[in-house]
Structure 1
């Protein structure tokens, strides 16, 4: 059977026609969502200790009054180090701090900020952070020479 002259053909069951006479397709109904795989079965993510140490050093450098964070190198013992056991990180940082500032206050701020950044970026909890203040850097207005 044909449609009367001047009338549009009936729309197909899967949606109204688009301009140009092509029928629109409606999305297929979603089936049941696949069951979520528990995190412990999805796989393992390993974050090397040197990466955790780099994150910690970067984060320590973001704290006000921290002048420099010493990186660990093959020829330079000390510096920033990380040890990771399971989901727990232990950190050592060597920092230069502006003078004069209360060192214990700056060290506590470093601990808070570094622990938060390491956890946010790696998911690791931070057990403790040892901080060595290796140098005091005079503020621009305080010339001690």
Structure 2
């Protein structure tokens, strides 16, 4: 008669290994979150660079924004959404989100009243 083998002790999930999320994956999450946070129209898509150290992500976002507009409010919305999304998707702390406004888009020029722009 064989005696049953004792089962190995249960190891908690956190002690079995580690999951590492690449910096470029976190950068894609950040860029997508920034794109969704911006409600203004045309401009180049935001891009992000991220440095991850342990479970802390330092984020830098490059934006093109419409002008005139409330630039501070747009930047605050991007910061909130990027930090929230990275914390939610990658379980990382985001102590800061640096934003660099690289270009401002002025509204298209309007023709003066009564002026016809068609060529005859």
Residue in structure 2 matching 1:90, options 58, 64, 68: 58
Give the drift of 1:68.
Answer: 3.1
Structure with higher Rg: it is: 1
Structure number with greater CO (CA < 8 Å, separation at least 6) is: 2
Uncovered stretches (5+) of structure 2, i.e. residues with no partner? 1-8, 111-120
The question of whether the paired residues in 2 share the 8 Å contact of 1:88 and 1:126 is answered with yes
Give the structure with the larger helix fraction: 2
> TM-score, normalised on structure 1?
0.62
Equivalent residue runs for 1:115-130 within 5 Å: 115-130=83-98
Number of aligned pairs?
Answer: 100
Uncovered stretches (5+) of structure 1, i.e. residues with no partner? 1-34, 72-79
SS in structure 1 of the partner of residue 100 of structure 2: strand
| In 1: Cα distance, 2:80 partner to 2:10 partner | 34
Provide the residue aligned with 2:33 in structure 1: 59
Provide the residue aligned with 2:113 in structure 1: none
Moved runs in structure 1, 4+ residues, more than 4 A?
Answer: none
